[in-house]
Amino acid sequence: MKTSLPVFSLLLISVLMGCKNKFPTVNGVQNLTTASGCLLTKEFHDGWLDWSPSGEFLFFASSASDNLNLWRINMEEVELAVSPEGVMVASHILEGNFSKIAEQVTFLTEKDAICPVLSPNGEQMLFITYSCSDSGCADFDLRIMDFSTGESRILLTENVDYFDFLGQDRFVFVTKDNDSTLQEYELKTGEVREFLAFDQPLLAMQFTSGQLLVRTGNGVEAIDLET
């Protein structure tokens, strides 16, 4: 593990959904008006980030260690500036302060970890792991971590594109090989079944306030769910 941590150049957070795709830049800053959050660091990685249910911590992927791992920042220790339209938040985090407010959550050495998604009670976290070589990236897994033990286990050995909890015991996901179908995973039984099918590939999704927000080429659709 590296003994020195990189400078975080800029943290941008938006209140809207999506962050999987690249967005245009405005005056040299990424336009995140359709994004849920994107972390711009010295080593930028195109993944998403997630809040703890309490709003105290922000979870993200960073190469502050030798490879990409998941970290969390205590946001109560960060000074934020809100954009005039109320869409984006920016904060400069200096290298000297990073080690005081950031905590490494995963410690993988043979794979990279990205895309944290916290459970509704904040006790578990879904995330993606993969490995890369000169020929490309492969060996994708979707894992779940239990914060009480610090242990994680593999749930799916597929290239999962989007996923989110629908409750404490289940989540939905979309794979790259079947990108127009939402599938549901029951954590208690390990059962996987089709949840919803669409006529176009899904571009983003997020579960919030009893609704599943889904973005396709037709726009954003809000689906009311009983959890």
Q: What is the pLDDT of residue 134?
A: 85
Q: List the one residue out of 194, 198, 196 whose CA is nearest residue 185.
A: 194
* DSSP track, 114-144: EEEEE-TTSSEEEEEEEEEETTEEEEEEEEE
**Exposed/middle/buried for 170, CB within 10 Å: 0-12, 13-18, 19+?**
middle
Q: What is the pLDDT of residue 179?
A: 92
Helix (H, G, I), strand (E, B) or coil at 97: helix
Residue recorded with tokens 């020929």: 135
Return d(Cα 50, Cα 193) in angstroms, integer: 25
For 67-86, the pLDDT digits (tens) are 888 888 877 776 665 556 55
> In Å, what is the CA distance from 113 to each residue of 11, 25, 100, 109, 152?
19, 26, 22, 10, 12
Helix (H, G, I), strand (E, B) or coil at 219: strand
pLDDT of residue 34 exceeding 60, the answer is no
46-50, 151-155, 201-205, 210-214: segment of lowest average pLDDT: 46-50
**Which is more confidently placed, 152 or 18?**
152
Q: pLDDT > 70: what percent of the chain?
A: 68
Its pTM stands at: 0.76
111-115, 170-174, 190-194, 222-226: segment of lowest average pLDDT: 222-226
Q: What is the pLDDT of residue 133?
A: 84
**Nearest 5°: CA angle at 18, between 74 and 58?**
5
Q: Collect all residues with Cβ–Cβ distance below 8 Å to 36 and sequence separation of at least 6.
A: 14, 15, 16, 17, 18, 19, 48, 49, 206
List of E strands, 22-120: 25-26, 29-30, 38-40, 50-51, 57-62, 69-74, 81-82, 88-93, 102-104, 112-118
Q: What is the pLDDT of residue 157?
A: 94
Q: How many residues does the chain have?
A: 227
pLDDT of residue 156 exceeding 50, the answer is yes
Q: Which residues share a beta bridge with 118?
A: 125
Return d(Cα 73, Cα 212) in angstroms, integer: 27
Whether residue 47 contacts residue 71, with contact meaning beta carbons closer than 8 Å, is answered with no
Return d(Cα 120, Cα 109) in angstroms, integer: 28
